[in-house]
Chains A and B, each alone.
Chain A
Amino acid sequence: EPEVTQTPSHQVTQMGQEVILRCVPISNHLYFYWYRQILGQKVEFLVSFYNNEISEKSEIFDDQFSVERPDGSNFTLKIRSTKLEDSAMYFCASSQQILSNQPQHFGDGTRLSIL
């Protein structure tokens, strides 16, 4: 069964550094998402992306964050100047249709640790 793959599985970065989290969504999917889960807390929506632009974003997704689909397969989340509070598990997901019509498939996550 096709999967959403995320790399790396664990990223350790110094505070203030830029970090890029990478995702390869399922190939025929059109909608892409990033979520984060701070340790011990609930999953939070960050952003959704369709047709090469952001569809929705949450209050968390401020100017520090950006997303890109640089080629036909990758979907990336960039955090420009990381802060300690950015430490979390980041999940990528994709779906063929909008969330009201079809469930999404999640990657296994990237654990981001900011030192």
Chain B
Amino acid sequence: KNEVEQSPQNLTAQEGEFITINCSYSVGISALHWLQQHPGGGIVSLFMLSSGKKKHGRLIATINIQEKHSSLHITASHPRDSAVYICAVSGNNDMRFGAGTRLTVKP
């Protein structure tokens, strides 16, 4: 069983839709990270959280430590949001990754 599970694997949305990507993990963690991987391969860190909720622009990330679950929400999605979104969990100095969710937002 993977230590970090994401759903869905693939997601297609129409521009403007509200999007949710889910992440569950089975190990103890110090923090959970949401990353965005662009079609060219580059990776950008979107959020790091260990409790509660964080918001940045149209992106919101939440985590429930007791349930070992996190969600990434995108409000008013746009074609430029099309990318692979990766959930990862870290101890102090290592990281375990989910398989990613490929998001396609159509105009």
Contact = CB atoms under 8 A, between A and B. Distances in A.
Label chain A's interface by main secondary structure.
strand
Nearest to A111: B41
Interface string B70-87: 000000000000000010
Given A58-B94, A98-B93, A104 B45 contact: yes
Nearest to B47: A103
A45 B41 contact: no
B43 interface: yes
A50 B93 CA distance: 9
Interface in B13-61: 30-31, 33, 35, 40-45, 47-48, 50
B100 A103 contact: no
Contacts of A33: 95
A102 B30 CA distance: 11
